[in-house]
């Protein structure tokens, strides 16, 4: 996640708030439900998350499901507010 949506003024921007809630909530859910400690850094509208190597297929499935869920939620926001959000997926593989 990077930047700000500029849908409204800071503090009233529902697009920014929605995206932040989805992304931060997903990071928290991955950590709480898998026991993993993610490398997450958030600064000035930029969120960078690194998932450590996974030691089991079950844990991998949980992480993938949660991340795919996040993508679906962000896609839903983009469908309604496409002028204010762009989604780009990258991988360090």
Q: What are the residue ranges spanned by the domains of the chain?
A: 14-84
pLDDT value of residue 2: 44
DSSP code of residue 83: G
Domain range 14-84, CATH architecture: 2-Layer Sandwich (3.30)
Residues designated as active site: 4, 16
Report the predicted TM-score, pTM, of the whole model to 2 decimal places.
Answer: 0.79
HSE of 17, CA atoms in CB hemisphere, 13 A: 8
Gap between the Cα atoms of 47 and 43, Å rounded: 7
- pLDDT (tens digit per residue) in 31-74: 999 999 999 888 776 778 899 988 899 999 999 999 999 999 99
Gap between the Cα atoms of 45 and 13, Å rounded: 13
User: Sorting pLDDT into bands at 50, 70 and 90, what band is 87?
Assistant: confident
The overall average pLDDT reported for the chain is 85
DSSP code of residue 84: G
């Amino acid at each position: 996640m990077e930047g700000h949506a500029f849908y409204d003024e800071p503090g009233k921007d529902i697009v920014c708030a929605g995206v932040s809630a989805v992304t931060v909530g997903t990071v928290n859910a991955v950590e709480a439900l898998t026991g993993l400690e993610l490398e997450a850094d958030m600064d000035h509208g930029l969120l960078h998350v690194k998932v450590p190597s996974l030691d089991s297929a079950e844990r991998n499935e949980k992480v993938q499901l949660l991340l795919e869920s996040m993508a679906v939620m962000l896609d839903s926001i983009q469908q309604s507010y496409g002028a204010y959000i762009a989604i780009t997926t990258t991988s360090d593989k």
